[in-house]
Amino acid sequence: MGDPRGFIEIKRKDAPYRSRDERLRDYKAVEHQLSYSDLNKQAARCMDCGTPFCHAYGCPISNLVPEFNDFAFRGNWQQALEILVSANNFPEFTGRVCPAPCEAACVSALNSDPVTIRQIELAIIEKGFESGLISSEPPSIRLDKKVAVIGSGPAGLTIADSLNRAGYRVTVFENANYPGGILTYGIPDFKLEKWVVERRIKLMAAQGITFETGVKIGDDISCHYLKKRFDAICLACGARKPRDLPVPGRDLNGIYFAMDYLSQQNKRNRDEYVGPSDEIIARDKKVVVIGGGDTGSDCLGTALRQGAIRVSQLEIVPKPPVKRSDNTPWPMWPVLLRQTHAHKEGGDLFWSIMTKEFLGEKGVVKKIRCAEVEWVVSDVNRPPVPIEKASTEFEIEADLVILAMGFLGPEESNLVAELSVELDGRGNVKADDHGMTNLDGIFVAGDMAMGQSLVVRAIADGRKTALGIKTYLR
C-alpha cells in the first residue's frame, strides 16, 4: 500500500470519453486511456485490504490487484506487468471490455468510489507493449506433444497461449477469416479496436502458435482426423445459438439476430466482403432492438453510427434500481440501471415491454405490436412471471428489427454431432473439473462449457482447462 491516506485524499478519476458528435462519425474506441501520471495517483487509492475482495471474490481470474496497484503507484511498470500477466493472458482485452466485477467488489465501493482497477490494468499492459517488455520469443523448450484448439475466441486463445508457453505445439483452427472469436466478430470496434486483437495474434504466431483460419472442424476437417494427428483436442467454439422470438410475423423480412448484424459491421470495418444481398444496414431506417442488455446496447451504438432515423430498444424486464439494492449487496455484482456509452449517444430504452406481433407489408416488417407487462409472483417458490397489463397495447414503427435477447448455448454443429459429446442440462458441453469432456483427450473451454458469459470468464476457464490438458499430457 503505497500511500496510506490515498483512499481518503484522492478522488476517483474516470477515463474521459470522446465527444458524442465526434464518436458517432466513426467506429473508433469511445473511451480514452487515463495518463500514466493520473494512474499513479489512482493506484494510490488502493487500500491493500487484508482480504482483497477484488482479487478473491470479484475477479474470475483472481488478478493480483493490490500487488499490481502498488507497483503502478510506485511507477514500477515492469514489476506491475509481471504480476498482471501471471494471472491474465490478455489484459489488453479485459482492460478495455471487462465490466470489472473487481471494482464492484472493491472495499472502497462500500462507502465511496472503487479504485479504477480496469484502467490501471490497461495502463500496465499498454506500457508493457510500448516499452518492449512483452517478448515475442518462442519458448526455449519444445515438447513432443501436439494440441489442437478448435475456436479462437478468448477461451481458445488462452489455451493456445498457456500451452505454447509450456512448450506444447499448438494449432488453432478457426472457422472465421480471422482469429479472435467475438473479440473480432461481435464486440463493436468502438468498444475494442481490432488492431488490439491483431497485435496479440501476431505476437502469438511469432511465439510459435499456428493459426489455421477459414476451416470449420466437423465440415472441412473431421474431428476424428484431428484425433489421429494431435495428442489432445480442445473445443472452444463459443455459445452462439441465439434466443428467438416466435411470435406471429417472425418470418417477415427485416428481422435479424444481433450477432449477424454486429459481425457484419466488424467485417465492413476490416474491409471484408459483405454481399449486397446479405447486407443488414440501419441507414435511413427506424430500428427496433429487442433486448436491453449489453449486446442490445452494442446494436444501438452500431445503428446510430450507420445513420438510423431512430433507434428504440425494448426490454421485457423492469427498470433496475439506480442504487445497489438489498438483493445484490456488496461485494456481489450489483443489478443496477447502467447507462452505457451507447445509451448516452441516443436512442430510447423502454422497460417492461413485451413483443406480441410483427406486422408487415409485402413480406417486410413495418411495425411491432407491443404491450406493457407487470412482473407477478404467483408462486413463492418460482421466479416472477410477466403478465400483460390491460389496455396498454401499442404499435411502434420498425423497418429493421434486431433480436438481442441472449444466447441458448452452443450452436448445433457437425462437430458436436460427430463427436456425440455429452451435454449438460442447459445444452452446454459437459466437462469435469479439469475441463475434459466424457471423451478421452477431448477438452472444452469458455462459453461452449459455461454458456454465453464474459471475456474474463472465458480466459479463466481457458486457464483451468489448459492446466487440465497439461496434467493429461504428462
Ligand X SMILES: Cc1cc2nc3c(=O)[nH]c(=O)nc-3n(C[C@H](O)[C@H](O)[C@H](O)COP(=O)(O)OP(=O)(O)OC[C@H]3O[C@@H](n4cnc5c(N)ncnc54)[C@H](O)[C@@H]3O)c2cc1C
| Shortest distance (Å) from residue 258 CB to ligand X | 6
| Shortest distance (Å) from residue 473 CB to ligand X | 21
Q: What span, in angstroms and rounded, lies between the C-alpha atoms of 62 and 94? A: 13
Beta bridge partners of 170: 147
| Shortest distance (Å) from residue 214 CB to ligand X | 9
Q: What span, in angstroms and rounded, lies between the C-alpha atoms of 457 and 447? A: 8
If the CB atoms of residues 218 and 254 are measured against ligand X, the closer one turns out to be 218
Binding-residue total with ligand X (CB under 6 A):
41
| Shortest distance (Å) from residue 91 CB to ligand X | 13
If the CB atoms of residues 47 and 282 are measured against ligand X, the closer one turns out to be 282
Q: Which stretch binds ligand X (CB under 6 A): 72-80, 116-124, 178-186, 343-351?
A: 178-186
If the CB atoms of residues 117 and 373 are measured against ligand X, the closer one turns out to be 117
> 218, 156, 172, 151: which is closest to 415 by C-alpha?
218
Binding mask 203-232 for ligand X (x = CB under 6 A): -------------xxx--------------
Considering only residues 298, 315, 345, 399, which one is a binding residue for ligand X as defined by CB under 6 A?
Answer: 298
| Shortest distance (Å) from residue 112 CB to ligand X | 25
Q: Exposed (0-12), middle (13-18) or buried (19+): which is 415, by Cβ within 10 Å?
A: buried
Considering only residues 54, 83, 87, 97, which one is a binding residue for ligand X as defined by CB under 6 A?
Answer: 97
Q: Tell whether residue 238 is a contact of ligand X (CB under 6 A).
A: yes
Q: Tell whether residue 295 is a contact of ligand X (CB under 6 A).
A: yes
Binding mask 252-291 for ligand X (x = CB under 6 A): -------x--x-----------------------------
Q: Exposed (0-12), middle (13-18) or buried (19+): which is 82, by Cβ within 10 Å?
A: middle
How would DSSP label each residue in 299-341?
A: HHHHHHHHT-SEEEEE-SSPPPPSS--TTS-TTSPP------H
Binding mask 408-447 for ligand X (x = CB under 6 A): -----x-x------------------------------xx
Considering only residues 52, 95, 101, 153, which one is a binding residue for ligand X as defined by CB under 6 A?
Answer: 153
Question: What are φ and ψ of residue 22, in 5° steps?
Answer: -70, -45
Q: Tell whether residue 236 is a contact of ligand X (CB under 6 A).
A: yes
Question: What are φ and ψ of residue 440, in 5° steps?
Answer: -60, 125
Q: DSSP letter at 109?
A: G
Contact 430, 422 (CB under 8 A): yes
If the CB atoms of residues 238 and 331 are measured against ligand X, the closer one turns out to be 238
The letter for the amino acid at 152 is S
Question: What are φ and ψ of residue 142, in 5° steps?
Answer: -110, 130
| Shortest distance (Å) from residue 454 CB to ligand X | 4
How would DSSP label each residue in 56-72?
A: III-TT---HHHHHHHH
Q: Which stretch binds ligand X (CB under 6 A): 48-56, 167-175, 196-204, 386-394?
A: 167-175
Q: Tell whether residue 160 is a contact of ligand X (CB under 6 A).
A: no
If the CB atoms of residues 369 and 430 are measured against ligand X, the closer one turns out to be 430
Q: What span, in angstroms and rounded, lies between the C-alpha atoms of 407 and 237? A: 14
Q: Exposed (0-12), middle (13-18) or buried (19+): which is 336, by Cβ within 10 Å?
A: middle
Q: Which stretch binds ligand X (CB under 6 A): 81-89, 127-135, 244-252, 454-462?
A: 454-462
C-alpha grid cell for residue 108?
A: 472502497
If the CB atoms of residues 334 and 446 are measured against ligand X, the closer one turns out to be 446
Contact 1, 46 (CB under 8 A): yes
| Shortest distance (Å) from residue 355 CB to ligand X | 20
Q: Tell whether residue 197 is a contact of ligand X (CB under 6 A).
A: no
Q: Which stretch binds ligand X (CB under 6 A): 8-16, 39-47, 65-73, 184-192?
A: 184-192
Supply the Cα-derived Rg of the chain in whole angstroms: 23
How would DSSP label each residue in 115-137?
A: P-HHHHHHHHHHHHHHTT-S--P
Q: Which stretch binds ligand X (CB under 6 A): 23-31, 152-160, 356-364, 427-435?
A: 152-160
Contact 242, 451 (CB under 8 A): no
Considering only residues 6, 101, 181, 208, which one is a binding residue for ligand X as defined by CB under 6 A?
Answer: 181
Residues engaged in binding ligand X (CB under 6 A)? 97-98, 150-156, 173-176, 181-182, 186-187, 191, 216-218, 236-238, 240, 259, 262, 294-295, 298, 413, 415, 446-448, 452-456, 458
